[in-house]
Amino acid sequence: MSKPLNIDRLRKEFPILKTKINNNNLVYFDNAATTQKPIKVINALDYYYKNINSNIHRGIHSLAEIATKEFEKTRSIVKKFINAKNEEEIIFTRGTTEGINLVANCYPKKYLKENDEIIISEMEHHSNIVPWQMICKEKKLKLKVIEINKKGELDLNSFKSLITDKTKFVSLVHISNSLGTINPIKKIISICRDNDIKILIDGAQASPHININVQELDCDFYVLSAHKMYGPTGVGVMYGKSKLLNEMPPYMGGGEMIKNVTFNKTTYNDIPYKFEAGTPNIGDVIAFKEAINFINEIGKENIQNYEKDLKNYTLEKLQNIDGLKLVGDAKNRIGVFSFTIENTHYYDLGLLLDAKGIAVRTGHHCTQPIMDKFNIEGTTRMSLAIYNSIEEIDYFIESLKKIINK
Amino acid sequence: MSKPLNIDRLRKEFPILKTKINNNNLVYFDNAATTQKPIKVINALDYYYKNINSNIHRGIHSLAEIATKEFEKTRSIVKKFINAKNEEEIIFTRGTTEGINLVANCYPKKYLKENDEIIISEMEHHSNIVPWQMICKEKKLKLKVIEINKKGELDLNSFKSLITDKTKFVSLVHISNSLGTINPIKKIISICRDNDIKILIDGAQASPHININVQELDCDFYVLSAHKMYGPTGVGVMYGKSKLLNEMPPYMGGGEMIKNVTFNKTTYNDIPYKFEAGTPNIGDVIAFKEAINFINEIGKENIQNYEKDLKNYTLEKLQNIDGLKLVGDAKNRIGVFSFTIENTHYYDLGLLLDAKGIAVRTGHHCTQPIMDKFNIEGTTRMSLAIYNSIEEIDYFIESLKKIINK
Amino acid sequence: MKKINTIQKKIIEEFKILDQDFEMTLNYLMELGDKVPPIKEKYKIEENIIKGCQSQVWLTYKLNNNGFTFSGDSNTEITKGLLSLLIRIYSDCSPKEIIDSNLFFIEEIGLNRFIGTQRSNGLKSMKNKFKIFALSNI
Amino acid sequence: MKKINTIQKKIIEEFKILDQDFEMTLNYLMELGDKVPPIKEKYKIEENIIKGCQSQVWLTYKLNNNGFTFSGDSNTEITKGLLSLLIRIYSDCSPKEIIDSNLFFIEEIGLNRFIGTQRSNGLKSMKNKFKIFALSNI
Ligand SMILES: Cc1ncc(COP(=O)(O)O)c(C=O)c1O
Ligand SMILES: Cc1ncc(COP(=O)(O)O)c(C=O)c1O
């Protein structure tokens, strides 16, 4: 089906990997924060601005036509990528954060009333906590939190025990950005279906790594960020079932999202446009298409196989380092590793690794509640992507040991 | 002070101007919709993704440091461009539309109560109408509309007569995108000051053409879009006085905009970050800097002088075409011309011009209320930018005459 | 069916001399549009309207044993020309023939741009209107 | 003032052998940090804290006729090293000397990255804390 992975050739597609950092080769392990971009994405941006830049949808001149077609082509490719039913279910946003805010704002306005309950989990990114806190305060809803166990896995009993007949919505991360845990969302969605609860899945970390099929999952909303899946910054996708999108009120008002405007009465446009007010991020949406093409050309199966090897290799090496403590030990996980080192602060460690050219992230990774849970201030997080190599992991482990044993 | 304008050299900075459209040279007169980009903006994007791409603010590794510095440099350059007092008053958005929605959402939440009144005008872009309609409905506020006269100028008496002691906010376009009218916003702001009314200025069309000095204007908010001023799509600026920004509640929740998150209590970050939830459009914000550099290098004075010549030249030529009727005839205007042609629908005209390589916009230009006012369905709009030439205008006028006289 | 394809081939043949030149094509479409008799005001009702972003089209029909007779109108000349091509192709057809039909002339005469995008979807929504009329008479 | 500049020059001289190598500089800073005696828990109060994004610093002082005596601490070694440099520079200075001072050693030893950005603004906020203490004693 799909070609075997040629890692050397694949790495050549990423110009930034040739960069020197503090006189060392860049070793980029900050992929959970943002991924690097293949040359075809960069070239697509370049091509757009040099050849077809134009405002879209309303124009009838050639550039407007071409740009509109390219823009809508991305919508169609995204639809296939997550297997949505219709293109109109694909809404372009700035990123995962905007997608969640959109749903947290518009869904409750239409469907929820005082004292209704929303459930999130202890392992959510701040972007899947704060919007719900804000709307719960505004609309007097109740926010409940699923607990996680010591391994950093969702406690399904905790989830079930939280459900009451007032529970109307669940918002849950697909893969945790600080623990790497893959949540059993299929099971959770089916519990939601049984209890007539709508559910949003935060796919920011899942989208570059595992297969996504929203129809099979049967989730109501799914959100992701292009920049975390080899695409440009400033673009995200909010998938929603068309029935819900049709019924929900719009988020922002402005150009594009209206059918008719008078001072007496304004009627809104059909979906997806109803939720895309103003000039969108045209250039980046068009270039995002090439990121999905990049993923499709390798194939999600190949990606999963290769990344699983990298993950297992890294896990074993990390577990053998004295004084290193992994935070999160889920059975079902991806190659995102948070850890602490005895007697070495993550800030010092991050800088010392950077001196060797290695980029990792340090701190709370926008998941303070997890840090509180594990009673730590922060961690060092090393996260993998498709262009990382065994050699890079060896170099990282070796560097880590040198720093610790100093 | 500033160098005299060398239009041939300047045009060479815009790669797209060499494009052929239907076998003719592209003549781009759709600048009010979006402008083309100089090579330095395109190259800045390319450089970013090939060399320094990284998520910003929280990272301590070198790439994160460099990208953060470049990102914040844009903030500093924007601050100077509009002469804000502090960098913290510069909020990055997706564009003008998001900026207005942000203010329309957050300002009333803090300061307005039932029956308070907001004033806009008949010449607003939909993006400065719909958000206010939405919030007025939600919070039971009243929306009032300043009339315009036959020339397409604001009626200042109409404005004054609308003001009551319940009037708390005015939102007004600096330069109309379909009429080209430059509004006397200094006078209007001073009337607002006298009546203790806050005011937002929609600077989407003003920012590429005329000088902007928010401290001198003394407006409370000023919004603009990068893509209309030679910058990339997907970036905008919302300027707000720091006192107001500090007091207003946040718009979206998520990463970046928080100080501390627990399930019991979340505290928000300081401005500007409080209003910048989630990963921003890093690459485009960084490249936007080069668009402002481009404008600064030519100098706003040179721009205004050159564009004034183009405008006067075009105006005279258009006025001499039989059967052509200009919509909007303000004394104080820029080179944005809306017109109708007897017996020729704008849709046909737009396509026929496109066949000759000329890009104009046709329709209602997201200002349906203006069309209603002038009792028309739409217009053909030709709008100028700094890279347009007298030769292009001649070719356009000639083409127009040929089409009409067929 | 055969008839629909035959006329499409004829149209392709007729457009050949225009050599896909956009300007000549537009002018020819306008000529065609010019020949379409305007429809009566009483037919310009919601039921018969096809709303595009910038142009409006009205389409109405009669159906007897010989098949459909269509008449249509538009506020823009180019759209009227496009409409006239569809009317020519679908005239005298049975509902079933229209439903089963496949339009291939569009690409071949370089009118792709009139069907491409979601908004300025002139040709596409016109074509759909014919099919809707056919479907409601089966 | 003169003293502040003299010590800065000395520091620049001492760092010269590191040749702006980032790794060696970090290691040297950690050595310096290691030598700083921890401050008592009772001084770790809100008033004395300097909150960075990832590291925390505490700074406290005594002031007599010979000028300031500072002591400080941090939860990270590198930051403690940076802090020790500032303490060395500002020790025994009068409030006025600190207020009027100008730190130029930072760029010269390649520590720019510790002052650059708004968030991870370690050095900048540390420097500000010294000035705040100076200002509140004038
Ligand atoms: C799980 C998760 N959710 C949400 C986000 C927010 O994504 P963005 O910053 O692109 O809006 C992130 C990114 O860090 C994430 O990892
Ligand atoms: C006057 C005016 N306001 C607002 C807007 C909306 O700007 P954007 O689409 O970039 O959000 C425009 C753009 O057409 C405009 O011309």
Instruction: Give the number of the ligand closest to the Cα of residue B180.
Output: 2
Mutate to test the interface with D, among A351, A354, A376, A405 (most CBs of D within 10 A): A351
Q: Is residue B135 part of a domain?
A: yes
Question: A245 and A353 in one domain?
Answer: no
- The 3-state DSSP class for residue A92 equals strand
Kindly write down the DSSP assignment for every residue of B323-340, as one continuous string.
TEEEE---SSB-SEEEEE
**pLDDT tens digits in sequence order for chain B, 406 residues long:** 455 689 999 999 999 999 999 999 999 999 999 999 999 999 999 999 999 999 998 888 999 999 999 999 999 999 999 999 999 999 999 999 999 999 999 999 999 999 999 999 999 999 999 999 999 999 999 999 999 999 999 999 999 999 999 999 999 999 999 999 999 999 999 999 999 999 999 999 999 999 999 999 999 999 999 999 999 999 999 999 999 999 999 999 998 899 899 999 999 999 999 999 999 999 999 999 999 999 999 999 999 999 999 999 999 999 999 999 999 999 999 999 999 999 999 999 999 999 999 999 999 989 999 999 999 999 999 999 999 999 999 999 999 999 999 8
Nearest CA of chain A to the CA of D134: how many Å?
29
Residue of D23, D27, D76 with shortest CB distance to A347: D76
Q: Tell me phi and psi for residue B22, to 5 degrees.
A: 50, 45
**pLDDT of A231 higher than 60:** yes
Q: From the alpha carbon of B254, which atom of ligand 1 is closest?
A: 6
Answer yes or no: do D23 and A348 touch at CB < 8 A. no
d(CA A214, CA A223): 11
Select the more confidently predicted residue: D109 or B121: B121
Q: What percent of chain D has pLDDT above 90?
A: 62
- Please report the number of interchain residue pairs, chain B to chain C, with beta-carbon separation below 8 angstroms: 33
Summarize the confidence of residues A128-140 as an average pLDDT.
Answer: 97
Instruction: Answer yes or no: is A213 within a domain.
Output: yes
Q: Is residue C115 very low, low, confident or very high in pLDDT (cuts 50, 70, 90)?
A: low
Instruction: Please report the pLDDT score of residue C118 as a whole number.
Output: 44
pLDDT bracket for residue C55 (50, 70, 90): confident
- If you measure from the C-alpha of residue A125 to the centroid of ligand 1, how many angstroms do you get, rounded to a whole number? 7
How far, in Å, CA of B51 to CA of B63, rounded?
Answer: 8
Which ligand does the CA of A125 lie closest to? 1
Pairing of strands B20-21, B379-383: unpaired
Continuous H helices in B240-281: 242-247
Beta carbons within 8 Å of B99's beta carbon, 6+ residues apart: B91, B93, B221, B223, B224, B236, B237, B238
A57 reaches C (C-beta below 8 A): yes
8 Å CB contact of A59 and B361: yes
Q: Which of D53, D113, D116 sits opposite B58 (nearest CB)?
A: D53
Please indicate whether residue B101, judged by its CB atom, sits closer than 6 Å to ligand 2.
no
Are B171 and B200 contacting, i.e. CB atoms less than 8 angstroms apart? yes
Contact B183, B203 (CB under 8 A): no
D73/A contact by beta carbon, under 8 A: no
Q: What is the pLDDT of residue A47?
A: 98
Mutation target for A interface from D18, D22, D24, D82: give the one with most A CBs within 10 A. Answer: D22
HSE-CB for D26 with a 13 A CA cutoff: 18
**What range defines the domain where residue A365 resides?**
7-30+299-404
What value does the mean pLDDT take over residues C92-99? 94
- Arithmetic mean of pLDDT over chain A: 96
Question: Where a domain ends, among B296, B322, B340?
Answer: B296
Question: Cβ of B252 and A98 within 8 Å?
Answer: yes
pLDDT value for B255: 87
Instruction: For residues A228 and A84, state if they share a domain.
Output: yes
Q: Is A278 in the pocket of ligand 2 (CB under 6 A)?
A: yes
Q: What residue in A sits closest to C22 (Cα-Cα)?
A: A62
Q: What is the DSSP letter of B267?
A: E
Cβ distance of D54 and B60 shorter than 8 Å: yes
Inspect the structure and tell me whether chains D and C have 3 or more CB pairs less than 8 Å apart: no
Angle at B393 between CA B391 and CA B399, to 5 degrees: 105
Enclosing H/E stretch for A80: helix A62-82
Please answer yes or no on whether A69 and C53 come within 8 Å at the CB atom: no
**Same domain assignment for residues A305 and A292:** no
- Whether residue B1 is contained in a domain is answered as no
Q: Are residues A217 and A237 in the same domain?
A: yes
Domain check: are A57 and A87 in the same one? yes
Query: Is residue A312 one of the residues assigned to a domain?
Result: yes
Band of pLDDT at residue C110, cut at 50, 70 and 90: confident
Domain final position from B296, B316, B336: B296
Q: Is D46 helix (H, G, I), strand (E, B) or coil?
A: helix
Q: How much is the pLDDT for B1?
A: 46
Q: What is the DSSP letter of B180?
A: -
Q: Is D122 exposed, middle or buried (0-12, 13-18, 19+ CB in 10 A)?
A: buried
Check which CATH number belongs to the domain holding B326 and give it: 3.90.1150.10
According to the model, what pLDDT value does residue C51 have? Answer: 77
Residue A142 to residues A114, A189, B33, B198, C51, Cα–Cα distance (Å): 8, 20, 44, 35, 45
A39 vs D44, more confident: A39
Using a CB-CB cut-off of 8 Å, the residues of chain A touching B347 are 60
What would the DSSP string read from start to end of C100-126?
Answer: H----HHHHTT-GGGTSSSSS-HHHHH
Q: Please tell me which of the candidates D26, D75, D77 has its beta carbon nearest to residue A355.
A: D26
* Angle of CA points B151, B157, B159, to nearest 5°: 95
Could you say which architecture CATH assigns to the domain D2-135?
Alpha-Beta Complex (3.90)
Which amino acids of A are annotated catalytic?
Answer: 366
Instruction: Please indicate whether residue B97, judged by its CB atom, sits closer than 6 Å to ligand 2.
Output: yes
CA distances A211 to A241, A300, B390, Å, are 19, 6, 55
Residue in A69, C117, A61 with CA at minimum distance from that of residue B27: A61
For residue A372, how far is its CA from the centre of ligand 2 (angstroms)? 44
Would the pLDDT of C81 be above 50? Answer: yes
Question: What is the structure's pLDDT at D1?
Answer: 56
- Report the separation in Å between the CA atom of B276 and the middle of ligand 1, taken as the mean of its atom positions: 13
Let me know if residue B2 belongs to a domain.
no
Residue A347, in any domain of the structure: yes
According to DSSP, residue B50 is labeled I
Contact A65 C113 (CB under 8 A): yes
CA of A97, closest CA in chain B: separation in Å? 5
HSE of B355 in the Cβ direction (CA atoms, 13 Å)?
Answer: 20
Element holding B368 (H helix, E strand): helix B368-373
Does B223 lie in the same domain as B74? yes
* C9 in reach of chain A (CB within 8 A): no
Encoded amino acid at D34, one letter: D
Q: How far is the CA of A258 from the centre of ligand 2 (A)?
A: 14
Provide the 3-class DSSP secondary structure of residue A389. Answer: coil
Is B257 found in the same domain as B345?
no
Q: Do D22 and A354 touch (CB under 8 A)?
A: yes
**Ligand 2 atom nearest to B99, measured from its CA:** 11
Domain coordinates in residue numbering, chain C = 2-135
Same domain, yes or no, for B48 and B100?
yes
Residues A246 and A345 in one domain: no
Best residue for ligand 1 mutational test, from A125, A129, A284 (most atoms within 8 Å of Cβ): A125
Structure tokens at B207: 């920012």
Q: Does B390 contact A at CB distance below 8 Å?
A: no
pLDDT, average across residues C42-49 = 89
Question: What integer is the mean pLDDT of D29-43?
Answer: 91
pLDDT tops 70 at residue C121: no
CB contact under 8 A, C116 and A65: yes
Q: Amino acid identity, residue A334? A: I
Domain stops at, among A241, A275, A296: A296
Is residue B173 within 8 angstroms of chain A, CB to CB?
no
Per 3-state DSSP, chain B is made up of helix, strand and coil in percentages (nearest 5) of 45, 20, 35
Which single residue is written with the structure tokens 């805010």? A101
B268 plus B208 within the same structural domain: yes
Q: What are the angstrom distances between the C-alpha of B84 and each of B68, B374, D71?
A: 21, 37, 39
Enter the pTM of the model: 0.96
Asked whether the predicted pLDDT for residue D119 surpasses 60, the reply is no
Residue A37 lies in a domain: no
Confidence of residue C109 (pLDDT cuts 50, 70, 90): confident
* Sheet of A90-93, strands arranged across: A90-93, A236-240, A221-225, A198-202, A167-173, A117-121, A142-146
pLDDT-above-90 percentage for chain A: 95
pLDDT at D118 over 60: no
Decide which of D53 and A1 is more confident: D53
Cα B278 to middle of ligand 1, angstroms: 7
Give the mean model confidence (pLDDT) for residues D17-21: 91
Cα Rg of chain A, angstroms? 22
User: At residue B63, what are phi and psi to the nearest 5 degrees?
Assistant: -60, -45
CATH of the domain at B101: 3.40.640.10
For the question of residue C53 being annotated catalytic, the response is yes
B265's CB contacts (< 8 A; 6+ apart) are: none
Cα separation of C35 and C43, whole Å?
Answer: 19
The size of chain A, in residues, is: 406
User: Minimum mean pLDDT among A136-145, A256-265, B92-101, B273-282: which range?
Assistant: A256-265
**C chain contacts of residue A57, beta-carbon cutoff 8 Å:** 53, 117-119
A301–chain C nearest CA distance, Å: 33
B387 in contact with C at a CB cutoff of 8 Å?
no
Query: In this complex, which of A23, A345, A354 lies closest to D76 when CB atoms are compared?
Result: A345
pLDDT attached to residue B58? 80
Q: Which of D53, D92, D107, D116 is catalytic?
A: D53
Distance A98 CA to ligand 1 centre (A): 10
Q: Is B30 in the pocket of ligand 2 (CB under 6 A)?
A: no
Task: State whether the beta carbon of B205 lies less than 6 angstroms from ligand 2.
Answer: yes
Task: Calculate how close chain C gets to A266, using CA atoms only, in Å.
Answer: 17
Instruction: Note whether B287 and B373 are same-domain residues.
Output: no
Q: Which residues line ligand 1 (CB under 6 A)?
A: A 95-97, 125, 127-128, 173, 177, 202, 204-205, 225, 366; B 255, 278-279
Indicate whether A113 and A239 sit together in one domain. yes
